[in-house]
Amino acid sequence: DLQIGDHGYKFRMVDGRVMPPYITPRCYGLSRRIETRPADVCFVSYPKSGTTWLSYIIVLLTGKAAASLESSFYWVESSWTHPMTESDIASDRSPRLFKSHMPYDMALGGTPAQNPCKYIYIARNPKDVCSSYFYFESGKSWSGFYNGGWDHWLQMFTDGKVHRGDWFEHVLSWWEHRNADNILFLTYEELKMDPRAGLTKIARFLDVELTPGKLDEVARKVSFSEMKTTEFSAMKGVKEFGKFFRKGEIGSWKEYFTVAQNERFDALYASRMGSSGLDFIFM
């Protein structure tokens, strides 16, 4: 059931959404069946929204650092990280950290409303997401392997034809549930503009004590320049890890969007976001 879309873009349909080839029915099924516990943490995002950044923050705050960043958490829905069985995960002690790129109705562990797990969703302005995603998926050997140009990529993104489906649907699906006790909704932009306030908010949600010294240490370690260069955070063993650290800024979409594309996108954004109350900083 692997499909090839425009410009060689490989994907798989799962529950009606466009998903990467490595979301196999077995892994997705396992992710839905996971029995979570109150102290577990699942970080969720649409790709290119600051997932790696958030994952390192959570790993440091919970003291779960393993041999590499990627081996510090479970990415159950994906088949390419590390081999794991249901019993491996079940026998691990909490807090267990989980990563997911799923919309709300495809969440890890079934329905967050009936799950004791803590979910942290990070969202980013869609222009930067789309640009970062284009860079990421272009010519990369292990996922979609898109070989077309920017114009068409933007079209696919707004049509919901890139991995993880429609950005608006994804973000709004979690935004709707932002007030649930076990959900924290964050944005890339707030974390970027005031990292210390962001870290404090995350620590409070996780019930982790954050001394001034620890705050300093975590803030330093998760800065873009540190993450881009340190071996641990650079995801030792992950192919082409450099692709995860491009610019780390707000507003680099301006290097991609033409004036006309930007105007069309703004109109789409206004209509899709509607009265949701969610808005982003684009710079």
Task: Say whether 170 is catalytic.
Answer: no
- C-alpha closest to that of 17 among 99, 124, 80, 106: 106
Q: What is the DSSP letter of 58?
A: H
Q: Which is nearer to ligand A3P, 12 or 163 (CB)?
A: 163
Cite the DSSP H helix spans in 70-207.
Answer: 86-91, 126-137, 150-158, 167-175, 188-193, 195-205
Per CB under 6 A, contacts with ligand A3P among 214-233 are 222-224, 227
Question: Stretches 143-151, 164-172, 246-254, 267-275: which one binds ligand A3P (CB under 6 A)?
Answer: 246-254
Under DSSP, is residue 274 helix (H, G, I), strand (E, B) or coil?
Answer: coil
Active-site position among 7, 82, 101, 152: 101
| Site membership for ligand A3P, residue 248 (CB under 6 A) | yes
CA distance 240 to 84: 22
Tell me how far, at minimum, the Cβ of 274 lies from ligand A3P, in Å: 25
Q: Which residue has the tokens 């267990």?
A: 96
Answer yes or no: are the C-beta atoms of 103 and 165 closer than 8 Å: yes
| Site membership for ligand A3P, residue 53 (CB under 6 A) | yes
| Site membership for ligand A3P, residue 246 (CB under 6 A) | yes
Out of 45, 78, 100, 261, the only residue in the binding site for ligand A3P (CB under 6 A) is 45
β-bridge mates for residue 138, sequence order? 146
| Site membership for ligand A3P, residue 22 (CB under 6 A) | no
Q: Which is nearer to ligand A3P, 52 or 62 (CB)?
A: 52
| Site membership for ligand A3P, residue 36 (CB under 6 A) | no
Answer yes or no: are the C-beta atoms of 251 and 84 closer than 8 Å: no
CA distance 164 to 18: 6
| Site membership for ligand A3P, residue 31 (CB under 6 A) | no
Q: Which residue has the tokens 């196999």?
A: 24
Tell me how far, at minimum, the Cβ of 210 lies from ligand A3P, in Å: 18
Out of 31, 49, 143, 187, the only residue in the binding site for ligand A3P (CB under 6 A) is 49
Residue 212, preceding peptide bond in cis (omega within 30° of 0): no
As annotated, the active-site residues are 101
Q: List residues near ligand A3P by CB under 6 A.
A: 45, 47-53, 128, 132, 135, 192, 222-224, 227, 244-248, 252
